[in-house]
């Protein structure tokens, strides 16, 4: 399972949003105060080494793009959390999430609709 640091996840979020981006575009995505270009370059190098992004070289410039989908990354992340904290039981996780997340009645009803829809697909 690929694990990104919080800084790498934030940068990855900008790459997913843009789909393709040069370093200057990524730096612009950050709120002020902007990180140093050396910091972003280090993060991009680490993320390239981890195999989550790649780049096309245009002269001295690199255009970065994601190698993994956001949904796949977070799905793996959640699966790892369920394995570690909920004895690999999705049911225990769902039960905990539903009780502890302070969802409003309308949010719980929306969640129920999603579950009911998935149940219908399984018939």
- Rounded to an integer, the average pLDDT of 75-103 is 83
User: Cα(47)–Cα(62) distance, rounded to whole angstroms?
Assistant: 14
User: Cα(28)–Cα(88) distance, rounded to whole angstroms?
Assistant: 40
DSSP alpha helices (H): ranges in 51-104? 70-85, 90-100
- Reading the block at residue 103, the tokens are 């969802």
Q: What is the pLDDT of residues 34-73, one digit of tens each?
A: 999 999 999 999 999 999 999 999 999 999 999 999 998 8
Residue ranges of domains in the chain: 6-66
Q: 21 falls in which pLDDT band (50, 70, 90)?
A: very high
Q: 101 falls in which pLDDT band (50, 70, 90)?
A: confident
CA atoms within 13 A of residue 72's CA, in its CB half-sphere: 9
pTM: 0.71
User: Cα(38)–Cα(49) distance, rounded to whole angstroms?
Assistant: 16
Do 39 and 26 meet the contact criterion of CB atoms below 8 Å apart?
A: no
Please provide the CATH number assigned to the domain covering 6-66.
1.10.10.10
């Amino acid at each position: 399972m690929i694990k990104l640091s919080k800084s790498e996840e934030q940068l990855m979020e900008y790459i997913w949003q843009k789909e393709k981006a040069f370093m200057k575009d990524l730096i612009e995505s950050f709120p002020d105060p902007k990180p140093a270009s050396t910091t972003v370059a280090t993060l991009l190098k680490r993320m390239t080494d981890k195999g989550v992004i790649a780049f096309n070289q245009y002269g001295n410039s690199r255009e970065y793009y994601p190698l993994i989908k956001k949904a796949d990354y977070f799905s793996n992340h959640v699966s790892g959390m369920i394995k570690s904290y909920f004895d690999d039981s999705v049911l225990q996780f769902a039960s905990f999430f539903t009780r502890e997340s302070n969802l409003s009645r309308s949010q719980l009803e929306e969640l129920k609709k999603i579950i009911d829809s998935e149940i219908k697909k399984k018939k």
